[in-house]
Structure 1
Amino acid sequence: MRGLIWTVVHLVAIATFASLAAGRIAKADDAIPDVASAAFASHCFSPFMTAARADEVLASTGARVDFYDLDPLSDVAPSQVTGRAATLGTDRRCEVAFDGDHAELAASAAVAGLEMEGIRTEAPLPDRYQPVDSTVLLAARQLNPRRIAVVHVGTRPGPNGVETFLFVERLMPLEPLE
């Protein structure tokens, strides 16, 4: 009888711990939109972001990340395009995506990131960028006299249903230096 009681106690303890662990995982997943959006805002607009740094500060949030920089502004080597294909006419992309519809939160974070980096001057949106039905933010900003960046935030089909995406792409220089 004693053995049966201990077995039941152990099974109840295991079930309790498993339940608590599942709750922590669910809570951690619930935080991904906030944490990933904040990480995007804090890091994706920085001209010194690198692929290694993207792994460290973006992928660690639990979000899906797509980053490349073919013409870095620091002495790091250009990164390879590993996620989606490189967008024609761009030399840098920083994207995070995560499950669920959190586009309003993500758009607020993207605008805050632009403000933090002092990127305020509007630029004409290139024709190749078109809003989709779920677009919450699509805008071009002047980075300097020769470069613009395009920010796009919205939702789309993802691997687990609807996903929220935020990306910024830096376009190739408008004209060569003389």
Structure 2
Amino acid sequence: MKRTARISALAVALGSGMAHAHPAIEAFNAWCFKAGQTQERARSNMEGTAGAPLLFALTFWDTSLEPTPQAPAHAERRCEVAFSGDHADAAVTAVQAKMAMPPVFGTPIPLPAPYAAEPGTAFIEGRKLLRGRVAVVHIGIRGAQTFIGVDRLPAGMGVSE
């Protein structure tokens, strides 16, 4: 019984940020779910959380705020961090806990096209958001790096009623 209580307490601590997670996981949870950031602002916010220079790769763009030629048509916003090592389990635990905290990050829906699990995927899920928007959260391993990403789709894309 005591072991179960300790494991539950650890899970709560990890989800609430009380335990020390990798700086990339902390920065992702602190900033990648927040709208209204330019690429420059997102980097600055993450440096404030994880320290500068960032010890992880950051991919960030939001076509609703600034032109982004490399953005695919199926996503209007992307925030992804990638960092060395296999931290997928810790990332899944922390990100799922973050999405469950108020305000809850949407409701699960079937994965919209063209998204699909790829080799190394530990977690992928579509989420219905407010105002006809959908997000896809994807966590896994690519090569020797953990990645955590969230894409927001343009209004109406990926929503089937």
Calculate the TM-score normalised by the size of structure 2: 0.73
* Structure 2 residue 156 is matched with structure 1 residue 171: no
Q: CA deviation at 1:114?
A: 1.7
Deviations 1:79-100 (A, max 9, x none): 3438xx3233111000000011
Q: CA deviation at 1:46?
A: 1.1
Correspondence for 1:69: 62
Q: CA deviation at 1:50?
A: 2.7
Deviations 1:43-68 (A, max 9, x none): 10112333122211335341100000
User: Where does the alignment leave 5 or more consecutive residues of structure 2 unmatched?
Assistant: 1-20
* Structure 2 residue 29 is matched with structure 1 residue 38: no
Correspondence for 1:110: 95
Contact 1:149–1:170 (CA under 8 A) maintained in structure 2? yes
Q: Please, which of 104, 111, 117 is the counterpart of residue 125 of structure 1?
A: 111
One-letter code of the match for 2:114?
R
Correspondence for 1:152: 138
* Structure 2 residue 66 is matched with structure 1 residue 79: yes
Q: CA deviation at 1:136?
A: 0.7
Q: In the aligned structure 1, how far is the partner of 2:43 from the partner of 2:67? A: 13
Q: In the aligned structure 2, how far is the partner of 1:88 from the partner of 1:155? A: 25
The SS at the match of 1:127 is: coil
Task: Decide which structure has the larger Cα Rg and report it.
Answer: 1
Contact 1:153–1:167 (CA under 8 A) maintained in structure 2? yes
Deviations 1:132-160 (A, max 9, x none): 22111100111114110000000112xxx
Q: Percent identity?
A: 35
